[in-house]
Structure 1
Amino acid sequence: MVTQAPEIDWAAPWWAPVRTTGEEALARWAAGAPVAEALNAARSAPVRFVPQHALPEGLPYELFIFKQRAVPSRDNLHDFLNGLIWSRYPRTKLRLNELQAAEITRDGVRSTRGPVRDAVTLFDESGVLLAAPQALQDALRERRWPDLFGSLRPLWKEANLWVIGHAALEKLVSPYKSITAHVLAGPAHLETLEQADAWLAEWLSAGRMALKPFAPLPLLGVPGWWAHNEEAGFYDDASVFRGKTLISRPG
């Protein structure tokens, strides 16, 4: 299905890592270029982008990418954002694809994904890397929301957050309170996108991902990310800021 290029508020903080590439590619898409062409022209990536029909019938998407170093891309927002992540986090995306391909090569495509493929897919779609003081990491892992966004709020000035999941970014095009990402904890010293990409690519492994080492984070609760979270009672919504006894699902 072909969709029109959307309007994106590039000034929102979650777009900062991909803004330069994204603005250029979106302009080309809006001018009539297919998404694959717009992505290829905007910035070099470790892969090239090809139309969706380039994917042979019966060949798994992830295996095609691994073998051809080419990403089949539809003319829609989801695949456009996936392309931006490939351009800005090349090492991480290559590593995620490598893990997927290894699982498929060993086990084939089953009716349900195994634990590694499931976790890799989850992170690829809705993953976030958080480099922050240990106190913030602990509060997030334990879902101590009053501490995380209350008493510890000043520490967010020392934190860096990178949204790597393209499905999470897709939701953030039209923000709503319950958008929830799956966070991996990174070392506090990470400051730049390049450092984050390099560290994450090195850290990712089948064994680590099989454990699903994620913590849920309602993204628009992050201080400075949404004006509404300054309002009284914002964090009192238990349907969004859930305790550990409840199952967390993507927003």
Structure 2
Amino acid sequence: MQYWPEPNELNKLCSMSNQQIYTRSGKSILFIPQVIVKHHHGQSYESRIFLTGQVQTRTNNWHDFFNALVWKILPRAKSALNQLHYQAQLSELAIKAENRCKLRDAVTLFDESGVIIISSHELLIRLIKGFKWKELFWRQRTTVLSSMRFFVFGHGIYEKALNPFIGMTGKAIIFKVKEDFFLQDLFNQLHSVDLMLEQFLLSRLSFSADLTPIPLLGYPKWDANNCHESYYENKEYFRDRRQ
């Protein structure tokens, strides 16, 4: 990138669109330069966001840049995820846990690698859950393009997509919707996704196993090479479900 926005310019981006983003503790999200802080409760990265609204953001850093954009695009889901981080950290501190709890593992995994899959076809959803990748992406290709969308959430995935590679895998949450979802413009689709994801995160996410692995480059046209049937025969990438 030839020009990197400063944290304050990211804040202006939100204000220009008349968008005010809040944490679930009621604090306004404010992107600030990264500062060195002690890593105890109240000053860790996620706790600081929850308690103050301050999101430490490095300039000249793709990871933090994409994180800021996800805050803007899916703010309610991001706020829900931040609350889960905070609550999980409180639980760990209460029992003096040496390792992250299973909830925080799941939250971290989705924050970095999350993908939201939207489809109006039960068959397509079954194929994903059954790891039937060739049937899904090749034989049902036309239906996938018309009736299934992948929305990338994880800022780590966005960073990897700068130099995509076979093996790039997302961790998905899947929602079945009515066909008219796809008649909405992108703005309204994202708003609907934000609301659905917020509810799921706050009520249903508990373990990393709640997330479905998805070989992202299998989605039609996301890799120029996947226009050939043989592309989907790579079992190192398009893996079968473990028995």
TM-score (norm 1): 0.80
Relative to structure 1, is the Cα distance of residues 32 and 77 closer, same or farther in structure 2, using a 3 angstrom cutoff?
closer
Give the match for residue 122 of structure 1: 109
Corresponding pairs, count: 217
Give the match for residue 52 of structure 1: 34
Give the match for residue 57 of structure 2: 73
Does residue 63 in structure 1 map to residue 47 in structure 2?
yes
Give the match for residue 37 of structure 1: 8
What is the 5 A alignment of 1:211-250? 212-245=209-242
CA–CA distance in 2 between the matches of 1:174 and 1:136? 28
CA–CA distance in 1 between the matches of 2:97 and 2:65? 27
**Aligned letter for 1:50?**
I
Deviation at 1:146, TM superposition (A): 2.1
Is the 1:99–1:206 Cα contact (8 Å) retained in structure 2?
no
Q: Larger deviation: 143-152 or 115-124?
A: 143-152
Question: Which string of whole-angstrom CA distances, capped at 9 and with x for unpartnered residues, describes residues 171-195 of structure 1?
Answer: 0112222211011111223540000
Is the 1:159–1:188 Cα contact (8 Å) retained in structure 2?
no
CA–CA distance in 2 between the matches of 1:72 and 1:111? 25
Relative to structure 1, is the Cα distance of residues 116 and 93 closer, same or farther in structure 2, using a 3 angstrom cutoff?
same
**Percent of aligned positions that are identical:** 30
Is the 2:138–2:229 Cα contact (8 Å) retained in structure 1?
no
Deviation at 1:125, TM superposition (A): 0.5
Gaps spanning 5+ residues in structure 2: where? Answer: 22-28, 183-188
CA–CA distance in 2 between the matches of 1:32 and 1:202? 34
Is the 2:112–2:154 Cα contact (8 Å) retained in structure 1?
yes
Relative to structure 1, is the Cα distance of residues 49 and 110 closer, same or farther in structure 2, using a 3 angstrom cutoff?
farther
Relative to structure 1, is the Cα distance of residues 211 and 178 closer, same or farther in structure 2, using a 3 angstrom cutoff?
closer
Gaps spanning 5+ residues in structure 1: where? Answer: 1-5, 7-29, 247-251
Does residue 135 in structure 1 map to residue 119 in structure 2?
no
Return the match for 1:176 from 152, 158, 165: 165
TM-score (norm 2): 0.82
Is the 2:109–2:208 Cα contact (8 Å) retained in structure 1?
no
CA–CA distance in 1 between the matches of 2:72 and 2:34? 18
CA–CA distance in 2 between the matches of 1:60 and 1:184? 27
What is the 5 A alignment of 1:4-15? 6=1
Relative to structure 1, is the Cα distance of residues 41 and 55 closer, same or farther in structure 2, using a 3 angstrom cutoff?
farther
Return the match for 2:174 from 166, 176, 185: 185
Deviation at 1:105, TM superposition (A): 1.7
Q: Larger deviation: 85-94 or 38-47?
A: 38-47
CA–CA distance in 2 between the matches of 1:149 and 1:62? 37
Relative to structure 1, is the Cα distance of residues 66 and 85 closer, same or farther in structure 2, using a 3 angstrom cutoff?
same
Give the match for residue 25 of structure 2: none
SS across alignment from 1:209: coil
Return the match for 1:154 from 142, 147, 155: 142
Deviation at 1:90, TM superposition (A): 0.3
Is the 2:92–2:100 Cα contact (8 Å) retained in structure 1?
no
Deviation at 1:37, TM superposition (A): 2.5
CA–CA distance in 2 between the matches of 1:80 and 1:89? 14
Return the match for 1:96 from 81, 106, 130: 81
Deviation at 1:96, TM superposition (A): 0.3
Question: Which string of whole-angstrom CA distances, capped at 9 and with x for unpartnered residues, describes residues 118-161 of structure 1?
Answer: 00110010001101121111111110112111222222121121
Deviation at 1:238, TM superposition (A): 1.1
CA–CA distance in 2 between the matches of 1:68 and 1:48? 9
Moved runs in structure 1, 4+ residues, more than 4 A?
54-57
Is the 2:49–2:82 Cα contact (8 Å) retained in structure 1?
yes
CA–CA distance in 2 between the matches of 1:242 and 1:126? 18
Q: CA RMSD in A?
A: 2.0
